[in-house]
Amino acid sequence: MNGRNQSLFNQEVSIADTFGLSETIVVYPGDCLTVLKTIPDESLQLIVTSPPYNIGKEYEKRLHLDLYLRQQEQVIGECVRTLSPRGSICWQVGNYVDRGAIIPLDAVLYPIFAKLGLRMRNRIIWHFEHGLHCNRRFSGRYETIVWFTKSDDYTFNLDPVRIPQKYPGKKYFKGPKAGQYSCNPLGKNPGDLWVIPNVKNHVEKTEHPCQFPVELIERLVLSLTNEGDWVFDPFVGTGTTIIAAIRHQRRGAGAEIVPKYVKLARERIQQELQGTLRTRPMDRPVYDPVEAGNSLTVAPCQKETNEVTLFENEQ
Ligand SMILES: C[S@@+](CC[C@H](N)C(=O)[O-])C[C@H]1O[C@@H](n2cnc3c(N)ncnc32)[C@H](O)[C@@H]1O
């Protein structure tokens, strides 16, 4: 058992495959709507997911956008029923691509959340450096997390997710507070632009094509829930949401329809419990080759081309 998890998991925990409030970890092998129907009203504190984007991945049948949105509406409706009055829903999405034209999924999903009475608190931009290289438009380097709450009285813990101040030694230079530090010693609010590497070329990468990194979800778990709360992911994939939850002494549950990903999720959760799952730490700065002092500032091929040009000019 991982020392990090001792307070909630003080005895051997097993991974249940059906939902029950007395469980600690649940991986339901099947359709999320089926398991959602078994979850009591208002019992989940955080529902966070990255749903299928309807772009023809191996686990999804590409649907007409209207049908896709109707299916999402059914799932979101059940999520709202099972969400606690102080709870949050976070939907992490990118773009749907229709014959080369992009449709931002958060924009088309927003009316569904609004119709169900949810209130949007943030539209977080998740920026990363790696991805597909496009030829006919700028390469996509962000996705969004839309965060909604059920009421105006919601859980929000800022202190556990504060990040280092840019100028921690800055002081008031005049007025009654002159000489005192002007910024919060616990760090600053991380804002709504999150620069977090995606799992391409990353320690957490598995065979799953659309995994999100654990640290992305840790920030949501820490700020939007308290210890012992339930965190649920209707499209749990490789179990990332559950891993982020149990790492911080929350209960974690999710559904996954593809058997090989169910197996992968269970294996990764077991590794997390044993303290052997390798992940990128939340507080590690993003790698900057220039700061690291080992970058080639000019691509070798370009350098060669420049040298040839110079040589030719000299002739
Ligand atoms: C975008 S991926 C989520 C990956 C996840 N965030 C992770 O870090 O591994 C969506 C997942 O939903 C699963 N899925 C699709 N339809 C589903 C359904 N109706 N119920 C449960 N899972 C479903 C897919 O197999 C896929 O693994």
Convert the pLDDT of each residue in 209-264 to its tens digit: 999 999 999 999 999 999 999 999 999 999 999 999 999 999 999 999 999 999 99
Q: Is pLDDT above 90 for 315?
A: no
Residue 255 Cα to ligand 1 midpoint, Å, equals 8
Count how many domains the chain has: 1
Q: What is the mean pLDDT of residues 154-158?
A: 98
Contact present, 200 and 209 (Cβ < 8 Å)? no
DSSP states along 43-67: -EEEEEE----SS--TT-----HHH
Q: Give me ligand 1 centre to Cα 60, in Å.
A: 9
The CB of 238 under 6 Å from ligand 1? The reply is yes
**DSSP three-state, residue 214:** helix
CATH number (domain holding residue 207): 3.40.50.150
By most ligand atoms within 8 Å of CB, the mutation choice from 257, 262, 268 for ligand 1 is 257
Residue 235 CA to ligand 1 centre (angstroms): 4
Domain containing residue 269:
3-314
Sequence-ordered list of residues with C-beta below 8 angstroms from that of 191, at least 6 positions apart, any chain: none
Pocket flag, ligand 1, residue 78 (CB < 6 Å) = no
Residue 274 confidence (pLDDT)? 94
279 touches 250 (CB < 8 A): no
User: Does position 55 have pLDDT exceeding 80, yes or no?
Assistant: no
Task: Determine if ligand 1 sits within 6 Å of the CB of residue 213.
Answer: no
Ligand 1: atom nearest CA of 208 is 9
Which residues contact residue 30 at a Cβ distance below 8 angstroms, ignoring those fewer than 6 apart?
A: 255, 257
Task: Please tell me the predicted confidence (pLDDT) of residue 308.
Answer: 40
On the question of pLDDT at 56 being above 90, the answer is: no
Query: Which token pair is 228?
Result: 């012992």
What is the pLDDT of the chain when averaged over all its residues? Answer: 89
The DSSP line for 19-40 is: --TT-SEEEEES-HHHHHTTSP
Please give the pLDDT value at position 49. Answer: 98
- Segment 262-309, tens digit of pLDDT: 999 999 999 999 999 999 988 888 887 777 777 666 666 655 544 443
